[in-house]
Every structure is written in C-alpha cells, then in structure tokens.
Amino acid sequence: MKRREFIVGLATAVAWPHASHAQQQSAGSRRLPNIGILNYASAQDALVNEFRTALKELGYVEGQSFSLTYRWADGQFERLPALVEEILASKVDVIIALGPATWAAKRATSSVPIVVAFSGDPVGNGVVPSLARPGGNITGFSYMSTDLAAKRLELVSRAFSRNARIAVLYNPDEPATVLEMRETESAAKAIGVALSPLKARRPDDLDDCFEAAVRAPADAIIVFTHGFAVLNRRRIIEQAARRKIPTMYGWRDFVENGGLMSYGPNVSIMIRQAAGYVGRILKGEKPGDLPVQQPTKIELSINLRTARAQGIELPSALLASADEVIE
C-alpha cells in the first residue's frame, strides 16, 4: 500500500469509532440502527462510497438515521475473520459484504442479516440454497460470473484467435474462481481453445503472469473479476497496456479506467440496489424472504481509445455488437 493511502486509511479507521460514538450521543437515548460494511478491498473503495450515496438518496443520513461500522482487509483474506468479529462486536443490525468478504461474514454469524453486494455464484458456492428463497440470514446480488464465463471466452476467441490459446488471470485463493474456471475449461474444450492459467495471489505476481501470457503466446487474457482484480485493477490494466495484449474483464468499470473490453453487469447499479435491501431489512423485512437478484442486463463494453493506443485491431462484428463503445 502506498504511504499516502496508508495514512488516509489509518486516519479513517481512527476517526470512525469516535464518529460513531458521537452519533450515538447526539441521538440521545434513541439507538441508531448500525450498518456494518465488510470489504475485501481498500478503505477508499469507490463501491463503498456509492453504497453510502445510495443510502443517502433513500433518506438514510449517516449520524442522524444510522451509524456505520466499516472494516476493510486491503486484499488480505486472512484479516477478514477478525474484521467481521469487530463488526459484530459493535452490535450491527445488518452487514453488507462485498465480494470475497461474503464467506467470512457467513461463517461468523447465522443470525445477523447479511446483504451480499455482489457474488459470483451464491448457489453454486453454497452461500445460499436458492436464489428465489435464500432463507436464513443472507440475501443479496449475484453478478453471474460463472454463468457468463463461456460467453466471455467465446467473444475473446472469435475476436482474437490466432494461436487458439487464451490466458486466464485469477487468484486461486478466491472461492468464486473455482466454478468460473470449471465453466471456462468446459467452454474451451467445446470450441477447441487451449487455456493458459495465470495464478496471481499478490500484486507482485502480475508482471510474471503477463510475461507468461506473452511467451505462451496467448491471443488474449480473460481476467476473473473478483476481489483481487478489483483491488489491483489499475495495475492489471497497466500491465495489459504495456504488453499490448487484448484483455477481457467482467465489469465495465475496468473499461472506463482504460481496459480494452468487458462483458457483464453494471456493478454500480447492483451496489445501489443492495442499499435498497439494507433499507428494507432495517424496516423489518427478513433477508431470507428477499430473493437473491441477478442483473437484468448484460453489456459488452469496448474502449476504442485503448485499442488504438495499443495497436489492437478490433473486428467490425465485435464493435457492431457492443452495447457501449468509448471513443
């Protein structure tokens, strides 16, 4: 972590407990609902800011109608269990778990409501038994990473297939990657494409991963867009630009930040919907009665500026099928 980021994160961590105490005092004897946020990524995660903005738009004003307990792991899985215990100790009324933090929250409590902001395959990974009737204390949103794996591979292979080899960048420690890799492997066999797995557990692994993709040589890289990729998105995008290798992501946010292309849901919309679920639970609804929702629209986004800068020629058919082209 950069020194400036560390200082900002430390200041935030120090300030928030005092702010929560002041919030409780200002409310007099009335206890404010306490919302907990458990995040795998960093303190300054833009998705958390979107969640807080969405709550405000729903009429929830921090310090007046709710208090907030926020913990983040800075990409260190091993920290999540202790962080969720800190959240539970603050007597939260509901927890919103982002990405890989879902599993830590699930293991820590079976009574406190949990809203999963985005999860790859909550049924396949055992987070909930059913999308329509999750039951228990967990509900939320799936961004369908497993369901969309075959389509991402198809799009990439049709657009860039020269050597019939596609690299896959992922963190094998993330539970959501197991099913997504299985689906990608199945799809690769069906269309006659070889896969080059690139395992990255730490940011420092990325340089070697991209070098391996160039040596393979791989026609393109598919990035499994889970916690590791989200936390290290800028470094991944920079590596792809340096190697001039076509790269497919799962979220349009990566394309907005200079990535070449993505196929998937708008995660920002899902975060805002998660705020709505939190509000409904605070009003008395049970999480087990709220269905786990899937995105209603899947979009192909392409950054044409990136393609030109990297000298990547995009097939006209691919451009014609895109939902969004950034000029």
In the numeric block, which tokens belong to residue 24?
Answer: 């409780």
pLDDT of residue 121: 86
Report the C-alpha gap between 33 and 325 in whole angstroms: 42
pLDDT band at 29 (very low <50, low <70, confident <90, very high): low
Contacts of 308 (CB under 8 A, 6+ apart): none
Q: Is a pLDDT exceeding 70 seen at residue 18?
A: no
Helix (H, G, I), strand (E, B) or coil at 318: helix
Sheet-wide strand order for 114-119: 67-72, 34-39, 94-98, 114-119, 138-142
Q: What domains are there in the chain, each with its CATH number? A: 3-144+267-289 (3.40.50.2300), 145-264+298-326 (3.40.50.2300)
Which residue is associated with the tokens 């009003």?
Answer: 283
Q: How many CA atoms lie within 13 A of 111 on its CB side?
A: 3
| Angle formed at CA 142 by CA 292 and CA 184, multiple of 5 degrees | 140
Q: Is a pLDDT exceeding 70 seen at residue 52?
A: yes
pLDDT of residue 4: 41
Report the C-alpha gap between 191 and 2 in whole angstroms: 43
Q: Is a pLDDT exceeding 50 seen at residue 286?
A: yes
| Angle formed at CA 315 by CA 311 and CA 317, multiple of 5 degrees | 155
pTM score above 0.85: yes
pLDDT one-digit tens code per residue, 39-48: 999 998 889 9
- Size of the chain, expressed as the number of residues it contains: 327
Report the C-alpha gap between 160 and 219 in whole angstroms: 6
Average pLDDT, the chain: 90
pLDDT of residue 30: 73
287 CB-contact burial (10 Å; exposed 0-12 / middle 13-18 / buried 19+): buried
Report the C-alpha gap between 303 and 164 in whole angstroms: 23
DSSP lists the bridge partners of residue 96 as 37, 115
In the numeric block, which tokens belong to residue 167?
Answer: 């690299």
In this structure, are strands 261-264 and 299-303 parallel, antiparallel, or unpaired? antiparallel
- Give how far the C-alpha of residue 57 lies from the chain's centroid of Cα atoms, to the nearest Å: 22
pLDDT of residue 274: 95
pLDDT of residue 118: 80
